[in-house]
Structure 1
Amino acid sequence: MLHRVRCAKIGAKLLATAALTSFFGIQPVFGQEAQGQVAQPDSAVATMVKLLVDEGIVTPEKGEALMRRAEAEAAQRATAAPLAQAAELAAPPAGAVRVPYVPETVRAQIKDELRQEVLAQARTERWAAPEQAAPDWTRNIRINGDFRFRSASHFYGRDNALAHYIDVPAFNDGGPYDISGFGGQLLPTINTTRDKRNNMQLRGRINLEATVAERFQVGFQLATGDDPGPISTNSGLTGGFRKRDVWIQNAYVRGELVPGLTAMLGRFDNPFRTTDLMFDPDLAFDGVYGEANLTRLLGHDDFRFAVRGGAFPIQFEPENFPSTSLGKRNWRDRYLFSAQVELGKTFAGGIDVNLSAAYHNFTYLRGHVSEPCDVFSASNVECSTDLLRPLWASKGNTLMFLRDIDFSFADPSNPLQPQYLGLKFAYRVLDVNGSVSVPISDRVQARLTGSYLHNFGFDPKNNCLRGSLGAPVTNVEITDPTNPQQGACDATNPARFVGGNEGYGVYFSLGDPNLFSINPRRARRGAWAINAAYKYLQSDAVPDSFTDSDFHLGGTNTKGYVLGAAWAPFDRISLGARWFSSNTIVDAPLAIDVFFVDLGLAF
């Protein structure tokens, strides 16, 4: 912008120079007609010079010099001209302005002096010196970011179950926990009753992307966050004024090998077309990704057809497991392999239709029962499947105990059962999404989106292959109230398994599309939007680690609605509010309402 302003100054001065010399370059006959009127204060020359001085295009000293030179030339011509010729000049018409003649040499001198003044000022202010020009790399870098301040409130239903829902991350990270009841160890549970009002949070993100070669970019994003988890970048304003953590949220290289064929490596925003039923909007992916935009490759522009896919490592298993054993185990790495096909077309009137189908295969997430494990001979025993604990678990997925405990050396009076929790099922998810967008005006659009999920890794018919070992311990409905220890794989009168593997959502938005998302956008002043959704997500439709972390405060086995609105009082500044109301589909009652008020700024 500064460069443009300075260029404008140069243009203005040169334009003024041309205009002034044009006035001085009127034909000699007009100069002869103007004899005796050179010093008149309302002459065109005086008016022009005054304007140049007022606008700062020439200095007052230069203006005075221009006036003196013009008067001297006029006086010289008046002395040399024959008096008879002057007498024959007709009187000027009323209101006419006569301009003195300026010789070519004077005009050239004025032009040269103005040019020298402009260049001297440019060198002094360093805005037109080639040696002071910014290096090329600065023109290849783009920086943007956003800031969000939030008031977050959580409200819990009066009929919620007490101490029923295990805090899975705390159980696995602080475990193993004894589930026998003989050791007097209390299990960690999540809050289900105590409201949290007006917790203040901030989120700051800054993005840098640089073009390093034609069609190749490298990018970075720094973001706040209270922990290294994969989803939230919110930072709670608590902790006695402690400083905030900043994390590397993204670091990637992207290249368009040929027009329409793109690849990315590193860590980057979710590249797939999906909804928050499948992945939280703030989830970033690690790994490699490729996309073939067949519309561009084939040279068609009347429809959209793209194929994309990638391999994303979730966890590389350690080489030294078990660390307390001489015999090490070889576990396969956990990955997410994804593929998607997308079709779209824009019809007359701007109506846009889009349809996509994706398959997401999470490999080796499910748990397995260990080999018989003696946990009594030593206190730091690692059982063979302890590594299969889920990463960043939330709530909702069907869980199982991982350890087959060998009681050969147990104290009969104190048979402890230190356990870890793992996922009961695999997750191979079909994700189908469709949307229709209809423009209503230049800045208002209506959009309807639908999403459907189905997990092919759901396998309840094999829940009891090993009897009570590996039996589901969540999403189980007790059928005998007198037996609270009733299990889903009991030999007689088993509890009923109630988990499911499907999900769907319907989303409607009206207003400026820049405000349809929860993240701050560069909306123009006066933009507005309203958003509504209904969501139904069964227990094992998706891994509960990666789905929307706001609805039901994260996890699966939930249903409910979302209402929201946003407005931009100024360019790139937005105010918004959202209300989430949700309840469990099966299992004990757990109703959670969430209310957010957001102030967002983007640059």
Structure 2
Amino acid sequence: MLTTSLCAAVLVTAPAFGQEAQGQAAQPDSAVATMVKLLVEEGIVSPEKGQALMRRAEAEAAQRAASAPPARSAELAPPPAGAVRVPYVPETVRAQIKDELRQEVLAQARTERWAAPDEAAPDWTRNIQIHGDFRFRSASHFYGRDNAVAHYTDVAAFNNNGPYDVSGFGGQLLPTLNTTRDKRNNMQVRGRIGIEAKVADRFTLGFQLATGDDPGPISTNSSLTGGFRKRDVWIQNAYVKGELVPGVTAMLGRFDNPLRSTDLMFDPDLAFDGVYGEANITRILGNDDFRFAVRGGAFPLQFEPENFPETSVGKRNWRDRYLFTAQAELGKTFGGGIDVNVSAAYHNFTYLRGHVSEPCDVFSASNVECSTDLLRPLWPSKGNTLMYLRDIDFTYADPANPLDPQYLGLKYAYRVLDLNASVSVPISERVQARLTGNFLHNFGFDPKNNCLRGNQGAPITNVEITDPTNPRQGVCDATNPARFVGGNEGYGIYLSIGDPALFSVNPRRAKRGSWAFNAAYKYLESDAVPDSFTDSDFRLGGTNAKGFVIGGAWAPFNNVTIGGRWLSAGEIVDAPLRIDVLHLDLGLAF
């Protein structure tokens, strides 16, 4: 490392060095000592390294003294004892030597890894990123004064605890949803921590843990109740993501929603299971004038059990339930930073609808399983049109007590067209205005076949009774039928102004002083989408809802946000049910 510096010093101090070679051969050149001192003072090397350099210089000086010829008489006499002869080094040369030494020392440091903090840890630690967020929420629910009482069935409880007798003769009470009692200031926390690790440059492993009161697909909130009990933690994400070739990526496992959508279709907290792929055509073609991508996936919803019915010798084969999705997205940024984005997706939920069973004798035994009992909806909320699944065989029923134990199923299939468009306009460096529109249409909606089997499989919800004296009036009655009022479309308009990092209710990582205002109007008919996966906050989840959302957020510190939302929604059809929701949030993220 000293070769370059010593050569430079010799060029400017050759006479003096020759004169004192005999008398000072065992000592390092004072120019070298000066340079080492400069390196220490500049912080290029530590004092310990400086001492090591000096010892090395002394050793080299001793070697030169041993091999040097005898001094000529014309040479200068050795300096008096205690005196040090310092050769003159011009300032320009000193600066050049200093720069050369800096580069040489840094090169050695990188090679030996003794002055590279980013190299101090093992290689695998540099490929890992850890992220997390925490949210404390006060959630209040306010129910309309005119809401119907005991009208809306708790579908999840009905199917999980059933079957329930719906004949009216057995005196069995059916589970219903709360529609009247307000719930104020329910405290909730949500904690999530995730890790992403790069593997072999092209692949990423991801894991995330999250709180949650139940294993449902949406909410990760944990209510602060239960006598100080410990909180449950669930695996929210576990996936591998790889870029197979430039512009083509794939994911396997469980991961955040990779599709372009709004909360009208999928709740923001919904994670997907399965296989996903995306082709970024813009990157593949190398054309930056526009953005174009196609994506799709196969997401299993439920694998049917091999042993059904458990109580029967004859087993049934079932198709697995899936969500198959395909989407195309096109975008372009115009002058002034105006960004336009449009997308179209088709979501096919297979084998989700219910079917009427084969004639089922539930009276000869108490634990009979009917042939379509498995077609109960997954994680139902409220709003979708329902039907009874069982065709009860009353041959062996008690004529005085003809019970009708039933399960509930979805009346229609769900093959949803999902259209999205957005325009973003920059206002300043950290302020943007964005307008988003979303339209949904369910091609699986089939009301013309409501009465294909008469009253068997007829709709039992989203029905308007036309004869108040007949509460059991049905849509498929031979005379004076009730009127079916369900629908299959939905739309939403979303406006946000402020920092884009605060447009979403999910992890908000914004700089201090950032703010945002958000507003939306949503209209979602009964069977536009499955009510299991749409926004769980708007009218507390489900479909058959219309109303507005307003809210805002502010960051008093980096990555610390305070926010609030007011969600007000009522029914589109059926009995009155208005629910207003207030959220007050404190969030931190890293």
TM score, norm. by length of structure 1 = 0.81
CA contact (8 A) 2:13 2:88 kept: no
The within-5 A match list for 1:420-569 is 420-569=407-556
Q: Which amino acid aligns with 1:367?
A: G
1:414 matched to 2:404? The reply is no
Shift, 1:138, TM fit:
1.0
Q: Which runs of 5+ in 2 are unaligned?
A: 17-33, 52-77
Shift, 1:101, TM fit:
4.7
* Structure-2 separation of matches of 1:129 and 1:475: 68
Shift, 1:413, TM fit:
1.3
Q: 2:127 aligns with which of 140, 143, 165?
A: 140
CA contact (8 A) 2:430 2:499 kept: yes
For 1:352, the equivalent position in structure 2 comes to 339
Question: Does the residue aligned with 1:587 lie in a helix, a strand or coil?
Answer: coil
Question: Does the residue aligned with 1:514 lie in a helix, a strand or coil?
Answer: helix
* Structure-2 separation of matches of 1:178 and 1:487: 17
1:295 matched to 2:282? The reply is yes
Q: Which amino acid aligns with 1:400?
A: M
Question: Does the residue aligned with 1:468 lie in a helix, a strand or coil?
Answer: coil
Shift, 1:133, TM fit:
3.7
Shift, 1:551, TM fit:
0.3
The within-5 A match list for 1:383-422 is 383-422=370-409
* Structure-2 separation of matches of 1:510 and 1:438: 9
* Structure-2 separation of matches of 1:484 and 1:28: 119
1:26–1:166 Cα change, 3 Å:
farther
Question: Does the residue aligned with 1:230 lie in a helix, a strand or coil?
Answer: coil
For 1:86, the equivalent position in structure 2 comes to none
CA contact (8 A) 1:26 1:101 kept: no
CA contact (8 A) 1:28 1:101 kept: no
**1:435-468: per-residue Cα shift (whole Å, max 9, x none)?**
0000000000000000000000000000001111
For 2:253, the equivalent position in structure 1 comes to 266
Q: Which amino acid aligns with 2:197?
A: A
1:209 matched to 2:176? The reply is no
For 1:14, the equivalent position in structure 2 comes to none
1:377 matched to 2:384? The reply is no
RMSD: 3.1
Shift, 1:79, TM fit:
9.9
**1:114-154: per-residue Cα shift (whole Å, max 9, x none)?**
x9xx99xx9xxx97599x94221111111111111100000
Shift, 1:424, TM fit:
0.1
Shift, 1:102, TM fit:
7.0
Q: 1:336 aligns with which of 323, 331, 337?
A: 323
Q: 1:153 aligns with which of 140, 159, 177?
A: 140
Q: Which amino acid aligns with 1:386?
A: D
Q: Which amino acid aligns with 1:293?
A: N
For 2:154, the equivalent position in structure 1 comes to 167
Higher mean alpha-carbon deviation, 443-452 vs 240-249, is at 240-249
**1:187-213: per-residue Cα shift (whole Å, max 9, x none)?**
000100000111010111111111111
For 1:278, the equivalent position in structure 2 comes to 265
CA contact (8 A) 1:350 1:439 kept: yes
Higher mean alpha-carbon deviation, 215-224 vs 386-395, is at 215-224
Shift, 1:521, TM fit:
1.9
CA contact (8 A) 1:564 1:576 kept: yes
1:127–1:483 Cα change, 3 Å:
farther
1:200 matched to 2:155? The reply is no
For 2:68, the equivalent position in structure 1 comes to none
1:153–1:79 Cα change, 3 Å:
same
Q: Which amino acid aligns with 1:246?
A: V
* Structure-2 separation of matches of 1:551 and 1:436: 24
1:28–1:275 Cα change, 3 Å:
farther
1:27–1:186 Cα change, 3 Å:
farther
Q: Which amino acid aligns with 1:421?
A: L
Moved over 3 A (4+): 25-29, 51-54, 56-59, 76-81, 100-104, 126-130
* Structure-2 separation of matches of 1:294 and 1:166: 48
CA contact (8 A) 1:510 1:530 kept: yes
Question: Does the residue aligned with 2:190 lie in a helix, a strand or coil?
Answer: strand
Shift, 1:184, TM fit:
1.7
CA contact (8 A) 2:421 2:436 kept: yes
* Structure-2 separation of matches of 1:486 and 1:380: 30
1:80–1:234 Cα change, 3 Å:
closer
* Structure-1 separation of matches of 2:222 and 2:540: 16
For 1:255, the equivalent position in structure 2 comes to 242
Question: Does the residue aligned with 2:359 lie in a helix, a strand or coil?
Answer: coil
1:587 matched to 2:569? The reply is no
CA contact (8 A) 1:27 1:101 kept: no
Question: Does the residue aligned with 1:500 lie in a helix, a strand or coil?
Answer: coil
Shift, 1:58, TM fit:
6.2
Higher mean alpha-carbon deviation, 175-184 vs 444-453, is at 175-184
1:78–1:439 Cα change, 3 Å:
farther
* Structure-2 separation of matches of 1:586 and 1:599: 36
For 1:95, the equivalent position in structure 2 comes to none
Shift, 1:520, TM fit:
2.2
Q: How many residues align?
A: 520
1:318 matched to 2:278? The reply is no
Shift, 1:182, TM fit:
1.8
Q: Which amino acid aligns with 1:435?
A: S
* Structure-2 separation of matches of 1:284 and 1:302: 32
The within-5 A match list for 1:230-241 is 230-241=217-228
* Structure-2 separation of matches of 1:419 and 1:318: 21
CA contact (8 A) 1:567 1:575 kept: yes
1:391–1:80 Cα change, 3 Å:
closer
* Structure-2 separation of matches of 1:182 and 1:563: 47
Q: Which runs of 5+ in 1 are unaligned?
A: 1-17, 30-44, 63-75, 82-99
CA contact (8 A) 1:397 1:544 kept: yes
For 1:183, the equivalent position in structure 2 comes to 170
Question: Does the residue aligned with 2:391 lie in a helix, a strand or coil?
Answer: coil
Shift, 1:80, TM fit:
11
For 2:56, the equivalent position in structure 1 comes to none
Q: Which amino acid aligns with 2:169?
A: F
Q: Which amino acid aligns with 2:296?
A: G
